[in-house]
Structure 1
Amino acid sequence: MIIHMDLDCFFVSAERTRSPFLKGKPVVVCKSGDTKIFSTHDMPSMLTEGVGGFNGMLHHQKTFQCFHKEAWREEFIDEKGQIHGIVIAKSYEAKRYGIQTGMRLQEALLRAPSLLIVPSDHLFYQQLSLALKAFLQSKIPLLEQYSIDEFWGDLKGWVRDEETYAFMAHVQKEVLERFDLPLSIGASRSKWIAKLATDFNKPYGLTLVPQEKIAAFVAPMKIASFPGIGKVLQKKFASYAIETLGEVLEHEKLVMGFGKIGRDLIARLRGEDNEPVIANRNRHSVGISRNFAAIHAREEVLRRAIILSRHLSYTIEKLALRPTTYAFSLRYETGVRVHTSQTIERVFSETLYRQWVVKTLLSLDAHTHYGITHISLSLSNFISPSHTKTFSLLHVNTDEKAKRLSEKLTHLRDMYGIDIVRSGAEKRHH
C-alpha cells in the first residue's frame, strides 16, 4: 500500500503548537509583500533544506515571544490606515465564515470581525516540517515529500496490507502526541488515489481504499476534486457534459483519445498508474520572487533585482548547483507580465549572474511608464553527470576567478549572514 499524509491547516496548526490560545478559534495566517529583503539594514536569515512545492529555502528569522491579538496591525496596516495582506491559511473555524486561502485580509475581517490574525513565519513552518519529515522517515523507509505539509510513503514490504489501517492510526496518533499537529492519512495501491482518499476525509481522517473499491470510491466525485485535473481539462470535460470522475471512466475511449494526458488520467483513476514513491527527486529549478507596491523609479527596481540575484546566487552556491539557463520576469501595475530566459554556457558565479540581471532588466522592461509590482528570477538546466555542457573557452580565466570569489563570499555569509557583503548598487535606497 501507499499512504498519503497531509497536515491539516498546517500553518495555523503550526502556530497553535506555540500559541495554544488559538485552538478552537477562527484563525488566519496572513502574508504581505516581504519587503524586508530589500532593507538597507542587515536582516538575520537562514537557509533550510527544500521541502517541495513552491516553498523557498532562504527565510528571514523572526523573534517569537507570544501571540498578541493586535500585533498584526503593525505589519498589515499602512500609514494611510489601509489594510494589506493575503490569507495563506485558515482554520476550519474561519472557513465557516466563507474565508478562503488567497482572500484579501480586509475582506476576511469584514466576514469575521473577531478573526484572529497571525503574520506568517515561514522559517518556523519549514523547520517544523523538516522535523516531522525526520520522524516519518524513522517510521517509513521510503518517504517522498510532496510539499511543506504533504508526504507519500510506500509501505510495500514493510507493512502488510491487512495491517495498513492500524499503522496509519498509530502514525496519526504519534504525530499528534509528539508534534501537536493534526494529520489526515489516506491509503490505496496508487499515489493519486491515496491523495484523493486523504482529501476526502479531513480534518484528522483515516481513509483506506482497496483496489477493488477504487471505481466506486471515485465515481460520485466532481472532476475538479482529482489532483492534476486543471482548468483547461475541466473545460474540455464540461464541453462533453462530463461532470464526475465516474463519468470520466465511463467515457474511457473518449478520454484516451486526448493523448498521453488522457491515458495517464485513466490509469490514475483506476489506481493502475504504478507511479513510484521517490525519496529524492532531481531539482529542476531554483527561484526567488517578491511582490510589492508599484515602483516607478527604475533605479529602485534595479536595486531590488540585484538584491534578489544575490540571495539566489547564495542559494545556488549552497546547493552546489551549476545552472545554465537564466530566467527573469516582471509584472506591472496593470497586470501585464513580461518574461525572458537565456541559456548561457559559462561557469555560474554571483558576479556573472548580477551582470546578466542588470543587462536583462534594461532590455526586458518594455513598459517604462508603468510601475512594477513583481520581480521573479529563476535558474535551471543544471549540469549533472547525465547532463553535461561544454563551456566557452573565451571566458575561462575570468569565470574561474569569479567562481572562486563566489565561494569566498559564501563562506563569509555562512559565518556572518547573507547581508554581510553587498554590491554598491544595493546601498542606494529610494
Structure 2
Amino acid sequence: MKKLRQHQMLLLLTLLTAFPPLSTDMYLPALPYLEKIWQEPTSSINLTLSGFFIGYCLSLLLYGPLSDKYGRRIPLLVGISVYIVASFLSGFANGVATLTILRILQGAGAAAGSTIAMAITKDLYQGHERQRILAYMGIIMALAPMLAPVIGGWIMTGLTWHWVFYLQAVIGLVALGGVFRMAEPLSTPSSGGVLAAMGMYLKLLRNSRYVALIVLFSFIVLPHFSFIGSAAHIYITRFGLSEQVFGYLFAFNAMAIMAGSFTFSRVQKLVTSRTLLAISFAGILLSGILMSMAFIHGPWGLAAPMALASFSFGLSRPPSNHIVLEQVDQGAGAASSLMVFLYFIAGAFSMWFISLDWNDTIQVIARLACASGGIVLLLWLLFPCLGNADRQVPCWRKGKFLS
C-alpha cells in the first residue's frame, strides 16, 4: 500500500475529522425551508440534526476498540462506505421520519472518520509534534464549518436541498479514496478478542484523570453546539436573513475557530498549554457575559460575541485533545472514541435543549456560555494538576482531588 506524504496525511486526517461539521453545517440553511414544506415544528426538524449525533455517538464506542484490534484502515473503509450510502439515500427522503433514520445511519458512518483520525495522530506523532499537527488540523478543519453553510446556501439558491446530501456523498468518496491509499498506521494491534478490546473502556473508566478531563472539556461544547442548532432559526426566521447571508455570518464564526487554532500553533512553545486553556475558558465566559448584556442589537448581537466564544473554542481544542490522549499508553482508539463520544453527547443534548420553546434563544446561548466557561475555568484554577500532561504528578488520592 502506497504511503501518503506528510501533507497528504494531514489533509486526509483533517477531512476525516471534518465529517461532523460537513454533515451538519452544510445542511443548516435547508432547515427553515423543510419546516415550511413538511409543515413540521422546529423541534421535529431538529431531530434530523440530533439523529445524526445519536448515530454518531453510539458508533464511536464501537470503532475505537475495533481499530485497536484490527487496525485503522478496515474500520475506516467500512464506516466511510456506510456514510456514502446514507448520504446518497438522504437526498431521496420525503419526510422527517425517513430523513432522521438516514441521518442516524449517516452519523454511524461518519463516526469512523473523526475517532480513528484522532487515534492515528497518537500512532504517528508525539509530544509537541502531535500538538502542532492537531493545531494544523484545527486550522484546516475550520474551513468545513466556514464553507459548509455558504455552500449549502448556494445549493439552496441554485438547486434544491437534495443536492446537499449528494455533495456529501461525493466528499465521502474522496475520503474513501484517501484511506484506500493510506498505509496502516497502527504498528502493534491490541491482543485478545473483540470483547477484550471493548473491555478497554472499563480500564479507561478507572483512569481518574482521563475521566475528569473528558468530562470537564465536554462542558465547553455546550454553547458551541447550541449555536449550531439554533443559528439558522435565529438568523433566517427571527431576523429574516437569506440563506446566503446566514451562510456568511455562520462562516464568520467558523473563521474565528480557525483563528483560535492558528493562534495556538504560533504560541504553543511560548505559553504553556495550561495557561492557554485558562485563557480559552475565560474567553467563553466573557462571550456569554457580553451576549447577555446585549450591547449590540440585530444579527451581530449574536455573531460578534459568538466569534469570541468560537475563537476560544478553537484555541482550546488542540491542547485539550493532546492532554487527554497523554493520559493513556495503550488503546488510543478506545480513548479517542470515549472522548469524542462524550463531547458529542453533550453537543446533542445542547442542540435538543436549544430547540425547546424559549422566549429568547440568544439569551439561553449566553447563559450556557457563562455556565460552561465559568464552571470549567473555576475547576481548572482550583485543580492545577489537571493541566499537567505528566501522569506521574498525582491528581487523585484516597477519593479526593489534589490541587
TM-score range, shorter chain: under 0.3
User: Which structure has the highest helix share of the two?
Assistant: 2
- Highest relative contact order (Cα 8 Å, sep 6+), 1 or 2? 2
Which TM-score applies when normalising by structure 1? 0.25
Q: State the structure with more CA Rg.
A: 1
Indicate the structure with greater strand content.
1
